[in-house]
């Protein structure tokens, strides 16, 4: 399992350096312009869902170009381990991204319950999107699945717009808090379903 993760990290080593450079640049830029921790946190929150999806897409694209799955199945590696490594990569990337704004707010003394819940919600969204994408990548490949990614991103945006036009009442703070409390159960169940679906797709694809 460690070797499978290391393979993906070595694939993305160069991109990781570019991302770290851009991240450092924006943090320094916001700090130099007098922006507060809240503005920097807002910028980082937009990256929490985006980065795992970008890295995941590139990891699958590299595998397709190198015919990795065909080679990997000749090794003493089960399909379950191949699939699980991708979910583990997603989890590690999401936790790593969430840790940056969390530690920044904690060390600056500005960590509030609201900020913590927002970081948690962004992390949950990242995991959910990736768990939707992984089976699609296994089933359709990166080119077609990228179109699905656009649809996945547009659906909640369109839904929010339609609800606003229909003048539905916004959920109360208590309702939002309740949804956040039960979301770990939903994420675990959805992760298990997504994992077994990915394993089944890969098994059928290689038979």
Give 181's Cβ-side CA count (13 Å radius): 6
Q: How many CB atoms sit inside 10 A of residue 184's CB? A: 11
pLDDT tens-digit profile of 107-134?
Answer: 777 778 888 888 888 888 889 888 988 9
Distance from the Cα of residue 205 to its chain's centroid:
25
Gyration radius of the chain over CA positions:
19
* Per-residue pLDDT at 100: 83
Q: 162, 167, 160, 137: which is closest to 149 by C-alpha?
A: 137
Measured distance between the N- and C-terminal CA atoms of the chain, rounded to whole angstroms: 23
* Per-residue pLDDT at 156: 63
Three-state SS sequence of 51-113: HHHHHHHHHHHHHHHHCHHHHHCCCCCCHHHHHHHHHHHHHHHHHHHHHHHHHHHHHHCCCCH
137 to 24, 71, 94, 143, 193: CA distances (angstroms):
31, 18, 19, 9, 15
Q: Which residues of the chain have pLDDT under 70?
A: 1, 14-16, 26-27, 29-38, 152-153, 155-173, 175-176, 178, 206-207
* Per-residue pLDDT at 106: 82
Burial class (CB in 10 A: 0-12, 13-18, 19+), 194: buried
Torsion of CA 102, 108, 106, 32, to 10 degrees: 10
Distance from the Cα of residue 66 to its chain's centroid:
24
**Rounded Cα gap, residues 30 and 182, in angstroms:** 35
Are the C-beta atoms of 128 and 147 separated by less than 8 Å? no
* Per-residue pLDDT at 192: 93
């Amino acid at each position: 399992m460690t070797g499978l993760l290391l393979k993906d990290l070595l694939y993305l080593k160069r991109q990781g350096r570019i991302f770290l450079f851009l991240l450092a640049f924006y943090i320094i830029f916001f700090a130099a312009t007098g922006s507060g921790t809240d503005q920097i946190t807002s910028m980082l929150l937009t990256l929490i869902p985006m980065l795992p999806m970008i890295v995941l897409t590139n990891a699958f694209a590299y595998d397709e170009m190198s015919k990795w799955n065909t080679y990997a199945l000749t090794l003493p590696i089960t399909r379950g381990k191949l699939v699980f490594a991708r979910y583990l990569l997603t989890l590690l990337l999401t936790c790593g991204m969430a840790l940056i704004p969390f530690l920044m707010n904690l060390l600056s003394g500005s960590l509030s319950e609201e900020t913590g819940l927002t970081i948690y919600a962004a992390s949950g969204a990242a995991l959910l999107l990736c768990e939707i994408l992984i089976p699609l990548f296994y089933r359709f490949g990166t080119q077609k699945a990228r179109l699905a990614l656009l649809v996945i991103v547009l659906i909640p945006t369109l839904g929010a717009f339609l609800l606003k036009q229909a003048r539905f009442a916004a959920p109360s703070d208590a309702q939002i808090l309740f949804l956040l409390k039960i979301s770990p159960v939903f994420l675990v169940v959805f992760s298990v379903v997504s994992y077994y679906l990915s394993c089944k797709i890969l098994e059928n694809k290689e038979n």
